């Protein structure tokens, strides 16, 4: 066990024997794919296993394998019929992920998740592992409409078209639209429906907690053949606004408004000595941008374009008039 | 490998001497010293991998310890997952995108599959769960928390604050609302603290020995982060008048007016500044009726926006 290191190879060998034992005549390529290694590596593993066995190391003591074409079968397992129990990090990683799924609104049937979690915890047993509990996930989201979420999940699983009553944050309006569901995604702790929007004639993301109502239509989901699901994004920045980036603004963010740069996609962030930052920000919807700027008040200055600054000031003056303090 | 097989197959404790003479691989050791070094290294590696190595004597007459692996502790217990449970496990294994966590989830699933539990890694492909871990500090912090080892790093309290050196006894890492936090005991401030991992700069340096950090019993990491980073409980109620057909977001978040006015909503007031920001963003479409301090905060925010223009040179 040289170059690769015992830490990776030994656990793999210990799992490989029972895995093969359960699958007589499995193609070598399939085994390599399962363990995430090349076929050449897997063959080296098999060669090594062949030389391992019980003290005595006679013909009946060694792990025995038989090869036929490109397949392999375990003839004698030398006592390795079951895999090693889950390690502390393995059990914890699965358990935390299951808890996160149970917590995430609308991703899966939480009842099945809870049952699976109980069984994994029981099978992995040890609670004395010091590394257990070092990773935790909390969604911390206010749940949306549970009934609508269940309907969306059902439509995705059964490939049915949906009619959504949906709140669009960029338009700050609730509207109705018919969609052909493609996938559910969990990104940054929120769940999104990826679907073909018939009105926009494009693939759109719908945050599940913004679905106010959902109704399964009496027709199958038929996204156009060229509707490409996108790469699961690294984060939710800009996820809901596919046309974001058509317009550009230059802003100066005071220290108290620097958080804005962590929430929205920014370019050319230049930090100044007083703690403020000059940024260029792309946005899709003008009205949305004006709302953001109005809310930030004195902590943001619009450097460019002047029309954006003017629109913001006009809206502010109208509002002050509504308060009778214009 | 041979050591595992030999110790697993025996019910007696095998002494070092017995291992040396019977287990393949150890005969290469030329000297006693070389043999014992080899055996100690292998034992440490097995323990590191979570293989339960028992030490004991076969009888009270034995003078030296022997070793064995109890099959019941070694083997994955019988586990039987219903199809929907197996799908949940497959989804859970796909949740992580950090190599450390994804690797552990992957080997866990392979073990389950080796035990005959049919977990299809591609099950429910229409669902893409993902918890991202792109911060470079994530891996060393997780490793330190698992090893029970203190760490030192530079951290900014907020994006514009100067980075300060912190020495922390890590209790764990927590993903909350899609962001990762380190939770632990801050030695400098002698208190429990949560650190946003994306605001850690530069290297994370381990400090002191492994196993030196113990997490207090019964603490809830997520709860600690929620209290530090989440919204505080509401302290009052705001009444806001909305223009007909406008400000749908505020309308959804609010409750209907008890007096029945269709264009007035009531909102929980937790953080005055953030609610003021949200309302001010709507300009004339959302007007605060009460409380007065919220109304004042919104007016001040709006006034800043109205005045801002005059400062921009034309």
CA-based torsion, B145, B150, B152, B158: positive or negative: positive
Share the mean pLDDT of chain A: 85
In angstroms, the CA A128 to CA A314 distance is 64
At residue A2 the predicted structure's pLDDT band, cuts being 50, 70 and 90, is very low
pLDDT in tens, A127-185: 555 566 777 777 666 666 788 988 998 899 899 999 999 999 888 999 999 999 998 88
At residue B294 the predicted structure's pLDDT band, cuts being 50, 70 and 90, is very high
User: DSSP letters of A250-284?
Assistant: EEEE-GGGTTHHHHS-EEEEEE-TTS-EEEEEEES
Residue A243 has pLDDT above 60, yes or no: no
By CA distance, what is A195's nearest residue in B?
A: B126
Per-residue pLDDT, A239:
61
Contact residues for B227 (Cβ-Cβ < 8 A; gap 6+):
none
Per-residue pLDDT, A163:
97
**Which token pair is A135?**
């990773």
Residue A185 near residue A192 (C-beta atoms within 8 A): yes
B residues 187-216 closer than 8 Å to A (CB): 198, 211, 215
Domain boundaries, chain A: 6-76, 86-140, 146-220, 247-322
Q: Estimate the crossing angle of helix A39-50 against helix A28-35, to 10 degrees.
A: 100
**What is the mean pLDDT of the segment spanning B6-10?**
86
Share the mean pLDDT of chain B: 88
User: CATH topology for A6-76?
Assistant: Arc Repressor Mutant, subunit A (1.10.10)
**What is the mean pLDDT of the segment spanning A99-104?**
78
So what CATH class is A146-220? mainly beta
Phi, psi at B161, each rounded to 5°: -80, 150
DSSP state of B312: S
Which of B305, B291, B217, B40 has its CA nearest to residue A311? B305
pLDDT in tens, B38-92: 999 999 888 888 888 899 887 777 788 899 998 888 998 888 899 889 988 988 8
In angstroms, the CA A255 to CA A275 distance is 5
In three-state secondary structure terms, A65 is strand
In angstroms, the CA A126 to CA B36 distance is 30
**What is the mean pLDDT of the segment spanning A232-246?**
59
Mutate to test the interface with B, among A11, A12, A82, A290 (most CBs of B within 10 A): A82
Per-residue pLDDT, A235:
61
**Which token pair is A303?**
């450097």
Interior/surface letters B175-190, b for 16+ CB within 10 angstroms, e for the rest: bbbbbbbbbbbbeeee
**Which token pair is B212?**
């030196």
Tell me if A140 and B226 make a contact (CB, 8 A cut-off): yes
B residues 133-152 closer than 8 Å to A (CB): 134, 142, 145-148
Complex ipTM value? 0.75
Which of A179, A108, A183, A181 has its CA nearest to residue A150? A108
Q: Cα angle vertex A41, ends A25, A91, to 5°?
A: 80
A residues 267-306 closer than 8 Å to B (CB): 271, 275-277, 290-298, 301-303, 306
- Number of residues assigned to chain B: 314
Which of A186, A108, A105 has its CA nearest to residue A143? A105
A residues 96-135 closer than 8 Å to B (CB): 97-98, 100-101, 104, 107-109, 112-113, 115-116, 119-120, 122-125, 130-131, 133-135
**Which token pair is A87?**
């390690």
Residue A42 near residue A71 (C-beta atoms within 8 A): no
At residue A242 the predicted structure's pLDDT band, cuts being 50, 70 and 90, is very low
CA distance readout (Å), A250 to A247, A309, B155: 10, 10, 28
**What is the mean pLDDT of the segment spanning A211-223?**
94
> Alpha helix (H) ranges present in chain B?
2-9, 16-22, 32-48, 71-74, 83-93, 99-114, 138-147, 221-229, 248-253, 272-281, 292-311
Architecture (CATH level 2) of domain A247-322: 2-Layer Sandwich (3.30)
Chain B hits for A58, CB-CB cut-off 8 Å, are none
Tell me if B107 and A55 make a contact (CB, 8 A cut-off): no
Lowest model confidence (mean pLDDT) among A69-73, A229-233, A261-265, B203-207: A229-233
Per-residue pLDDT, A231:
67
Residue B114 has pLDDT above 80, yes or no: yes
Residue B314 has pLDDT above 70, yes or no: no
In chain B, the domains with their CATH numbers are 2-74 (1.10.10), 80-132 (no CATH), 138-229 (2.30.30), 236-311 (no CATH)
Q: Tell whether pTM > 0.90.
A: no
């Amino acid at each position: 066990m040289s170059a690769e290191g015992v830490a990776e190879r030994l656990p793999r060998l210990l799992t490989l024997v029972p895995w093969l034992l359960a699958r007589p005549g499995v193609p070598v390529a399939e085994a390599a794919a399962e363990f995430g290694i090349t076929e050449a590596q897997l063959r080296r593993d098999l060669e090594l296993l062949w030389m391992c066995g019980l003290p005595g190391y006679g013909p009946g003591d060694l792990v025995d394998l038989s090869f036929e074409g490109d397949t392999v079968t375990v003839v004698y397992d030398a006592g390795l019929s079951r895999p090693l129990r889950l390690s502390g990090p393995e059990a914890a990683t699965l358990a935390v992920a299951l808890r996160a799924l149970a917590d995430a609104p609308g991703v899966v049937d939480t009842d099945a998740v809870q049952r699976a979690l109980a069984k994994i915890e029981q099978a992995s047993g040890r609670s004395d592992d010091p590394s257990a509990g070092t990773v935790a996930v909390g969604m911390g989201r206010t749940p949306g409409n549970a009934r609508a979420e269940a309907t969306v999940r059902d439509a995705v699983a059964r490939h049915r078209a949906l009619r959504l009553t949906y709140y669009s944050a960029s338009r700050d309006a609730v509207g109705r639209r018919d969609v052909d569901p493609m996938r559910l995604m969990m990104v940054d702790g929120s769940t999104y429906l990826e679907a073909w929007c018939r009105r926009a004639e494009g693939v759109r993301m719908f945050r599940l907690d913004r679905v106010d109502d959902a109704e399964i239509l009496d027709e199958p989901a038929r996204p156009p053949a060229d509707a490409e699901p996108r790469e699961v994004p690294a984060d939710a920045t800009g996820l809901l606004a596919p046309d974001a980036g058509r317009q550009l603004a230059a802003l100066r963010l005071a220290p108290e408004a620097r958080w804005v740069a962590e929430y929205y996609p920014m370019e050319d962030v230049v930090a100044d000595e007083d703690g403020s930052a000059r940024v260029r920000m792309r946005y899709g919807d003008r009205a949305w941008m004006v709302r953001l700027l109005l809310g930030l008040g004195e902590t943001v200055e619009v450097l460019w374009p002047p029309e954006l600054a003017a629109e913001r000031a006009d809206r502010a003056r109208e509002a002050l008039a509504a308060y009778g303090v214009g | 490998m041979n050591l595992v097989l030999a110790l697993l197959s025996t019910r007696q404790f095998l002494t070092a001497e017995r291992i040396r003479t019977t287990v393949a691989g150890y005969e290469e050791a030329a000297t006693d010293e070389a043999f014992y070094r080899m055996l100690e290294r292998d034992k440490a590696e097995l323990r590191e991998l979570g293989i339960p190595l028992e030490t004991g004597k076969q009888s009270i007459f034995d003078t030296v310890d022997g070793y064995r692996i109890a099959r019941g502790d070694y083997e994955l217990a019988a586990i039987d997952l219903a199809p929907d449970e197996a799908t949940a496990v497959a989804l859970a294994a796909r949740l992580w995108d950090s190599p450390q966590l994804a690797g552990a989830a992957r080997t866990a699933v392979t073990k389950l599959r080796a035990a005959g539990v049919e977990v299809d890694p591609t099950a429910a492909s229409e669902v893409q769960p993902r918890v991202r871990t792109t911060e470079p500090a994530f891996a060393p912090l997780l490793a330190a928390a698992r090893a029970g080892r203190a760490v030192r790093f530079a951290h900014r309290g907020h994006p514009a604050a100067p980075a300060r050196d912190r020495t922390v006894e890590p209790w764990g890492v927590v993903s909350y609302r899609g962001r990762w936090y380190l939770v632990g005991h801050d030695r400098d401030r002698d208190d429990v603290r949560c650190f946003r991992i994306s605001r850690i700069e530069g290297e994370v340096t381990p400090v002191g020995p492994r196993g030196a950090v113990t997490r207090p019993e019964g603490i809830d990491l997520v709860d600690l982060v929620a209290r530090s980073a989440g919204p505080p409980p509401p302290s009052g109620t705001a009444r806001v008048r909305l223009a007909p057909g406008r400000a749908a977001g505020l309308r959804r978040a609010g409750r209907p007016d008890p007096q029945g006015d269709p264009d007035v909503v009531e909102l929980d007031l937790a953080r005055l500044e953030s609610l003021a920001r949200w309302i001010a963003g709507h300009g004339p479409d959302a007007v605060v009726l009460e409380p007065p301090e919220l109304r004042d905060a919104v007016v001040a925010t709006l006034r800043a926006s109205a005045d801002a223009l005059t400062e921009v040179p034309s």
